[in-house]
Amino acid sequence: MKTWWEETLHSSFQLRLRVDKLLHETKSEFQHLMVFENELFGRVLTLDGVIQTTERDEFIYHEMLSHTPILAHGDVRNVLIIGGGDGGMLRRVLMHPIIENVVVVEIDGSVIDLCTRYLPSICGDAFNDLRTEVVVNDGASYVAECNRRFDVIIVDSTDPLGPAEVLFEHKFYAGCKSCLAPRGVIVTQNGVPFFQGSELSTSVGLFRSMFIDVTCFLAPVPTYAGGFMAFGWASDDTSLRPVSVDTLTDRICNINLKTRYYTPEIHKAAFALPSYIEALTAPT
């Protein structure tokens, strides 16, 4: 008889996945980790009862949160990833040959160990790339003490629960801004606005107090139920977001970038917000 895993993220909405084979389950210093196989989604990673990524649909999330800021910028050399222990974001970032260094700051080193063992289809050899630097530390502490500058900062965090709660606060975002290069951009995971509107509103509101150009962009990720997922965007360079389809196309062709979801047209369309999401990001 098959067992079923139930997500605990929402109190009045339930998402269930069948556990066809349990591969690993443990409790680290920070959280409960689980990897199992599901016929539809392949291997699934959950942390503290919440889906983090699946083999079947991870490409949508990782492509949009990595390629969008990097291709909009056009001259990214140094990238900081906060979180991202599954390696999917790192692998996409490293597809850009111009990038010289990627720092991954993951609070729970056991996530990296688990994913390199059980989810190699997601991380590939990214953690072995010579451009990769892994720091096992709290992301908020890292940016507060960092004296380096990054062209792109990607906050690939869990929802604001447990160890990730500090990654949605003013102090953390201010630390990120201090680590950004002059034309830099920060992008963030901001949940599904249909269910988690306050998560997006809070981040965007904090960004508005620090950055000139602030908004979010969207992508539908099947296992993140509730419709579009939102990604925060903040920069002081107002020329990055209006980049044209032709320019994006040229940049993709120049590096022969292969994607499964991201396209220049999707890039531009992702910033067109439905009214209910636009209302969540409007100045108060």
Rg (CA), the chain: 18
Residue of 156, 159, 237, 246 marked catalytic: 156
156 is an active site residue? yes
77 and 100 in contact (C-beta within 8 Å)? yes
d(CA 231, CA 207): 13
Q: How many CA atoms, within 13 angstroms, populate the side-chain half-sphere of residue 246?
A: 0
Task: Show the 3-state SS of the chain.
Answer: CCEEEECCCCCCCCCEEEECEEEEEEECCCCEEEEEEECCCEEEEEECCEEEEECCCHHHHHHHHHHHHHHHHCCCCEEEEEECCCCHHHHHHCCCCCCCEEEEEECCHHHHHHHHHHCHHHHCCHHHCCCEEEEECCHHHHHHHCCCCEEEEEEECCCCCHHHHHHHCHHHHHHHHHHEEEEEEEEEECCCHHHHHHHHHHHHHHHHCCCCEEEEEEEECCCCCCCEEEEEEEECCCCCCCCCHHHHHHHHHHHCCCCCCCCHHHHHHCCCCCHHHHHHHCCC
Catalytic positions are: 156
